[in-house]
Amino acid sequence: MTRLHDLHREQGQSPWLDNLRRGWLTSGELQAWIDRGVLGITSNPSIFQKAMSDTDAYDEQLAALKAEGRSIEESYWELVTSDITAALDLLTPVYEESGGIDGYVSVEVNPSLASDTEGTTAAARDLSERVARPNLLVKIPATVEGMPSIRQMISEGRSVNVTLIFSLDRYEQVMEAYLAGLEACPGDLSGVASVASFFISRTETEVDRRLEAIGTPAALDLRGRGAVAQGCAAYDLFRSTFSGPRWEALVKRGARVQRPLWASTSTKNPDYPDTLYVDALIGPDTVNTIPDATLEAFEEHGTVERTIDADPAAGRDILAALTGVGIDLDDVADQLEVEGVDTFITSFDDLLVSLTDKAATL
């Protein structure tokens, strides 16, 4: 048994792997991660950009797609869905053994659609139907324009990973979109799954930057504490939202909670512990999607202990203190959402350029 097994068995948190590449699928490395306790996989355009640009593992399929007359963007989606489908196959036993709680693989819609509700809805539906696996999660960004798409996909019985959440207000909107979607979905709800991906270390980095710019002793003392405090507050919101008469009515129809998923959990600041955003956010009915280097660190010296709600008042006090020294968390969230979408768009566009160049030489 590993720490990852203990994390799930003892604390009710599901460790997922935040990375995917074809070499892991063909070499058996991904299966080894699953054997060690990984219960799901997340991907994004930046992950695929690195995977496809850094190796020749995709060249043979790309050459075949070129020979068929496929465009570069069509080829990209064929390459992606091939990896996603292979990963879904490996995780199907986890999905079945967990009763549909885990065993998911996430794939993101074209990030350039983040401000296009109709385009996002159509792209999410197309991905869902193209892959057509019960353990697929289609990633939709938590932009204002993404909210109607989330509700619509859930109402159609499609499973969704809501990504790029940076604020408590937006998280409440995400949960409302999920609940409203379930209420509009006819019949049994037990096959509908969703996670809400709250980005942690990106928030920490920006909040710390602003605290250092303020520079007072009170501000500097808050460095490295804001993102975990916000995650703990999000968990409080989760627990209160998925309770009471409205939720119980959906449970009778088979509904599952939309679990909070802690994303961006590698530690960016070398002065902080390398497992900070795993150790400090452990609690039942949550997911932590963890890059492979951080997973290795957690396996070596992580702490398996319930921490997410150990001291809720302390988390609220930290958020209040951040406001008190001049940190506008809503402004932080707005900035990070724009930057997050832009980063994925840039990765997507750069990858298409890279695939174009590769196709020309094959």
DSSP state letter for 109? P
50 is an active site residue: no
Contact yes or no for 94/34 (Cβ under 8 A): yes
Q: 10 Å Cβ neighbour count for 152?
A: 22
3-state SS assignment for residue 224: coil
Where is 107: in which H helix or E strand? strand 104-108
Q: How far apart are CA 33 and CA 28, in angstroms?
A: 9
Q: What Cα–Cα distance (Å) separates residue 125 from each residue in 74, 304, 344?
A: 16, 38, 20
Catalytic-role residue among 50, 66, 139, 252: 139
What phi and psi values does residue 315 have, to the nearest 5 degrees?
Answer: -60, -45
Where is 29: in which H helix or E strand? helix 29-36
| 3-state percent helix, strand, coil for the chain, nearest multiple of 5 | 60, 10, 30
Give DSSP secondary structure letters for 164-184.
Answer: EE--HHHHHHHHHHHHHHHHH
What residues are labeled active site? 139
